[in-house]
Structure 1
Amino acid sequence: MQAVTRVIFLDEDGEKFFGEGPCRLLHAVEQTGSLRAAAQSMGMAYTKALKLVRHAEKALGFALTERTAGGRDGGGSSLTAQGKEWLRQYERYRDACVEANRQLYLACFPQQR
């Protein structure tokens, strides 16, 4: 049996801040060219997707997405340069955490290999 590791970030109030769901949402924005289409492709309400992005932008202090021409209903979205860089850094950090946790787990439970 292989262990599954999930990385969850909590804000100063102990509430979930930004994790895999929002990262998948940002990737979907890149693929679809629209926050609305990205939310729909994930089975998520547009208002929830918008709230996730706005909450993260407020906490990070910079915009993750920007409006662009095109997309469904004439309005599209794309990631900002800072948003792309932050997503790349987050994924690198997440992957390092997963690997470190895997090594620690195997060191503590060698019989689980």
Structure 2
Amino acid sequence: MSISSNLTLELFNQPFLLEKRIELLLAIEKTGSINKAAKEVPMSYKAAWEAIEAMNNLSTTPIVLRETGGVNGGGTTLTEYGKKLLKSYFLLKEEHRKFIENLNRITDLNSGSLKTIRRLSMQISARNQIVGVIENITDGAVNSEVALKLKGENKIVSIITNSAVENLGLNKGDEVVAVIKSSNILLSTDTNLKLSARNSLKGTIEAINVGAVNAEVIINIGNGDKVVSIVTMNSIEKMGLKVGTSVDAIIKASDIMIGK
């Protein structure tokens, strides 16, 4: 027994893009004819036009245009918006496929074990979640080093178990999320400081949210990425941290979790 699901996009609580309509749009793009497209799907000519009219009516921008007359006798074409919509749909479909694949991997329906599904809906308490692309995976005896490229020139390395790499199905080029607890990010104003930690991200303090004992320091590391560090008020005073201060956000590779 396995889990399967079709992807349907809704607009104004109405089915908008279904698998059959996608097939129709692809056939229109290929043939340039509503009649030929309907035969390829297959569906009746009337049903094809009803589907097109429904999509065009629901959309704020036309998806399909019908041209009449002209040198070639007219035809049916997709608008630029329609072509972009198809491209976006297939990107979503690939993510949908990965989601279903992951559901099947962590759920044993044959034994009736559904408890692991809760993992997918868990809210992560870690404050820092940064998107990156895997540049390289170096396997070790027990652990693997996963090198990620963030936006811009920033790069970080995560150390996770070999089994985690296998379970997540990680490969070079995959887009993943680096998850880091704010308490695991150390700050330094000494750019020449030598540390054993693999990761040091240069940034500028954007905000400091003061609490009774600790402060939340938000660091802009460039290209839209920000990390948050929790430090004591005593450290804030001793280091002279304030908005605009340049700092290094230091993170041990073993403190970076990977999500996909």
State the TM-score bracket (shorter-chain normalisation): 0.7 to 0.9
Residue equivalent to 1:58: 57
Question: Taking structure 1 as reference, are residues 103 and 83 closer, same or farther at Cα in structure 2, changes over 3 Å only?
Answer: same
TM-score w.r.t. length of structure 2: 0.37
Partner of 1:88: 87
Structure 2 stretches lacking a partner, 5+ long = 112-260
Counterpart-to-counterpart distance in 2, 1:90 and 1:22: 11
Structure that is richer in helix per residue: 1
The residue correspondences of 1:15-94 to structure 2 (distance < 5 A) are 16-68=15-67, 69=70, 70=72, 74-94=73-93
Per-residue CA deviations over 1:14-35 (Å, capped at 9, x if unaligned) read x543211111101100111111
Counterpart of 1:30, as a letter, is: E
Larger radius of gyration: 2
Which has more strand, going by share of residues? 2
TM-score normalised per structure 1: 0.78
The residue number in structure 2 matching 1:5 is 5
Per chain length, whose mean CA-contact separation is higher, i.e. which structure has more relative contact order (CA < 8 Å, sep 6+)? 1
Show structure 1 runs of 5+ residues with no match.
none
Aligned residues between the structures: 108
CA 1:32–1:89: 2 relative to 1, 3 Å: same
**2: CA distance, partners of 1:63 / 1:38:** 18
Deviation for aligned residue 1:5 = 3.0
What is the root-mean-square deviation of aligned Cα atoms in Å?
2.4
What amino acid maps onto 2:8 in structure 1?
I
Query: Aligned residues: percent identity?
Result: 24
